[in-house]
Chains A and B, each alone.
Chain A
Amino acid sequence: MSTPSAIYSNPSTTKHFTINKTDKHTTNGKTTGPSQFVLDAGIIDKDQPSTPNQTYLGDLRSQVTTLQDDLNEFLTERMQRENSIGKEEEWEKTLLDGGE
C-alpha cells in the first residue's frame, strides 16, 4: 500500500510532498489545534484528536496529519515571503516617488 501524497504547482514552481512510512506519525498536528500561547494560558484542548488505532486507517489518519502539517508549513512560508516582497516593493515605492 502507498502513502498519502500531494503535488503543488503555480506558474513558477512545482513541489512534491510524500510521506515516509517508516517515520513516526501522530494525530496531533503541529499546525492544527490551539496555539502554544493559548495552551500556555491554561486552556484545555477539548477537541484534541483521538489516539489512532493500530490499524491501516489509524496509520492513514496519522499520515494525513503529517501531510497537512507539511502543506501548511510550506504554504505559510510562501504567504510570508509574498507579504515581505509586497512590503519591500511598498518601501521602494515610498523611497523613490513618495508612495504616489
Chain B
Amino acid sequence: MNLFSFSNIEERSETNWFSELKIPFETAKQSKIAQNTLQPDPILRPADIDVKYSTEEEILVIKFDAVSDRVLRVAISSVLESLKTVIETIDEFEGKFDEYLQ
C-alpha cells in the first residue's frame, strides 16, 4: 500500500484542463533522478488536480490534469519551482568527488 497516495480519499471532480511538460535532461539517469525526487510530493488537493511523472529516455514528462486554469497554474508553478532546484542540485553535485566523505 502506498502511504503517499491520497487519490482515493477524495472523489475526483470532473477535470478538463490538461497540460503536458517535456523537460530534456542530458542523460536518462538524470531524468529518472528528477522523476524519483518530485514524485513523492503529495498532492494537496487530489480532487482538483492530478500530476503524473514519467520518463522517455532523457526526457522527463509531467502531465497535469486539473479542474480549472487557476488550479493548473498553481500546480505547474509549484512543480517547476521544485524542478529548478533538482536541476541545480544535479548540476552542482553530479560527478563531483566528495572530499568530506573520503
Contacts and interface: CB of A to CB of B under 8 A. Distances in A.
Given A32-B77, A61-B91, A82-B69, A4 B24 contact: yes
Interface residues of A, number: 34
Nearest to A27: B84
A67 B80 CA distance: 9
Interface in B63-99: 69-70, 72-73, 76-77, 80-81, 83-84, 87-88, 90-92
18 contacts: A1-B24, A4-B22, A7-B20, A8-B17, A9-B17, A9-B19, A10-B69, A32-B77, A53-B92, A57-B26, A57-B88, A60-B23, A65-B84, A68-B76, A68-B81, A71-B19, A72-B77, A75-B73
Among B22, B77, B80, B83, which residue has the most Cβ atoms of chain A within 10 A? B80
Interface residues of B, number: 28
Nearest to A31: B77
Interface of B: 16-26, 30, 59, 69-70, 72-73, 76-77, 80-81, 83-84, 87-88, 90-92
B76 A7 contact: no
B19 A60 contact: no
A78 B69 contact: yes
A56 B72 CA distance: 28
